């Protein structure tokens, strides 16, 4: 098995690493304080200019056409510097991929170039509702045909990037009498559409630079041609795209975990106790060794899932395995980093407490760790016929 990256993948990874170090990392602390929105938007624009807003979109639509492995490598590097910027970039890529997968030729031509070049600062994925989180098939948002268009009514919650997104992919029930999951359709809604109202931003534990909002659809009118894919086939689309999104969250988790351990490894070589650097003590060495295994195992799981997707092979189980392991590993790595810093790790003077807060949500969004275990078990047992 060849684990070597292609020249293009290395180039993309290195470009992401450079932009992350030069532009994202210096802004991360301000974003965590709830400041610097202009810098965030400028950085998202810079990432789009360099091809990171549409990494797996075809070149004919302005995308980089670089593949899922390149996407995972890039999100890891961005997450290493600023989780808030990385999650916005990851979701924007998801929006581009779903349009490319099921959009009409007209929809692809109209929307993908604007995502790719940064005309839309971000894309948003409107699936979750208060009673339909882990089970989105139970959503209540309705879409009704009305005249030469659709009318959408409902409320979506925990929507990343909603405050500055230019385009929303929205799921709504079009056949209420169908059994759960069978009467749902997918729609494209541009920012500024009548009846699309962005609610308050949530006050979150971490990833403060990435706004998470309620999105209200109050008699929201969109043209008939804004339905995406076949009517009543939207839930299948959502399930397929969530699998791809899990690779992004896994890569983001790895980036945060790596940042925490990079900080911890540097600190233990400087910090002295009992007359020696704590890096020379067996206890800290073993802690670092365990986390190094976590980092490497996460990376291999992520790249395996990404490579399977690029080859057109089934990858849902592998994406869930990568997301589960990498997000749980990020929790272990950030917790270990705080422990190695000691009391200093609990203070905001050092970034490891921010890494711990930023990492916590990775075990929840794009499907909780518990949901990933259900998917892995289901796919595993399905093969035991």
Cα(305)–Cα(314) distance, integer angstroms: 9
Cα(68)–Cα(293) distance, integer angstroms: 23
Q: Say if CB 199 and CB 214 are below 8 A apart.
A: yes
Catalytic residue among 22, 296, 366, 370: 366
Cα(25)–Cα(110) distance, integer angstroms: 33
Tokens 């020379």 label which residue? 280
Cα(52)–Cα(79) distance, integer angstroms: 13
Give strand pairing partners of 143. 152
Angle between helices 68-81 and 234-270 (to 10 degrees): 50
Cα(251)–Cα(9) distance, integer angstroms: 15
Cα(205)–Cα(141) distance, integer angstroms: 28
Cα(261)–Cα(293) distance, integer angstroms: 12
The verdict on whether 65 is a catalytic residue reads no
Q: Residue 133: which residues within 8 A CB-CB, separation 6 or more?
A: none
Question: Which H or E run includes 158?
Answer: strand 149-160
Q: Of 54, 24, 59, nearest to 41 (Cα)? A: 24
Q: Say if CB 139 and CB 195 are below 8 A apart.
A: no
CA-CA distances (angstroms) from residue 35 to 31, 88, 249? 5, 16, 24
Q: φ and ψ at 164, to 5 degrees?
A: -125, 10
- How many residues does this entry show for the chain? 385
Buried b (16+ CB within 10 A) or exposed e, 145-160: eeeeebbbbbbbbbbb
Q: How crowded is residue 202: how many other Cβ atoms within 10 Å of its Cβ?
A: 13
- The residues annotated with a catalytic role in the active site are 366
């Amino acid at each position: 098995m060849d684990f070597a990256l292609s020249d293009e993948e290395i180039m993309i990874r290195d470009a992401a690493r450079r932009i992350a170090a030069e532009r994202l990392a210096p802004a991360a602390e301000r974003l965590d304080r709830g400041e610097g929105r202009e810098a965030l938007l400028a950085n998202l624009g810079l990432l789009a200019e360099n091809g990171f807003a549409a990494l797996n979109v075809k070149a004919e639509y302005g995308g980089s056409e670089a593949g899922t492995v390149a996407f995972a490598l890039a999100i890891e590097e961005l997450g290493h510097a600023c989780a808030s910027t990385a999650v916005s970039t990851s979701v924007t890529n998801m929006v581009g991929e779903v349009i490319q997968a099921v959009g009409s030729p007209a929809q692809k031509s109209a929307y993908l170039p604007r995502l790719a070049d940064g005309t839309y600062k971000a894309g948003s994925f409107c699936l979750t509702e208060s009673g339909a989180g882990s089970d989105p098939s139970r959503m209540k948002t309705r879409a009704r045909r009305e005249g030469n268009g659709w009318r959408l009514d409902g409320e979506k919650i925990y929507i990343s990037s909603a405050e500055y997104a230019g385009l929303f992919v929205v799921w709504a029930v079009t056949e209420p009498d169908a059994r759960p999951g069978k009467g749902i359709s997918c729609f494209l809604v541009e920012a500024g559409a009548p009846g699309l109202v962005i609610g308050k931003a949530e006050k979150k534990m971490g990833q403060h630079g990435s706004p998470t909002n309620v999105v209200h659809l109050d008699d929201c009118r969109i043209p008939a041609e804004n339905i995406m894919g076949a009517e009543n086939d939207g839930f299948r689309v959502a399930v397929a795209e969530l699998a791809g999104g899990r690779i992004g969250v896994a890569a983001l988790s790895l980036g945060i975990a790596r940042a925490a351990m990079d900080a911890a490894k540097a600190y233990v070589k400087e910090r002295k106790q009992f007359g020696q650097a704590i890096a020379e003590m067996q206890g800290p060495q073993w802690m670092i060794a365990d986390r190094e295994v976590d980092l490497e195992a996460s990376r291999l799981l992520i790249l395996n899932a990404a490579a399977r997707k690029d080859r057109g092979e089934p990858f849902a189980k592998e994406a869930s395995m990568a997301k589960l392991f990498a997000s749980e590993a990020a929790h272990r790595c950030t917790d270990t980093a705080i422990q190695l810093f000691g009391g200093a790790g609990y203070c905001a003077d050092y970034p490891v407490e921010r890494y711990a807060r930023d990492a916590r949500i990775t075990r929840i969004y794009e499907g909780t760790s518990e949901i990933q275990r259900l998917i892995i078990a289901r796919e595993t047992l399905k093969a035991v016929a």
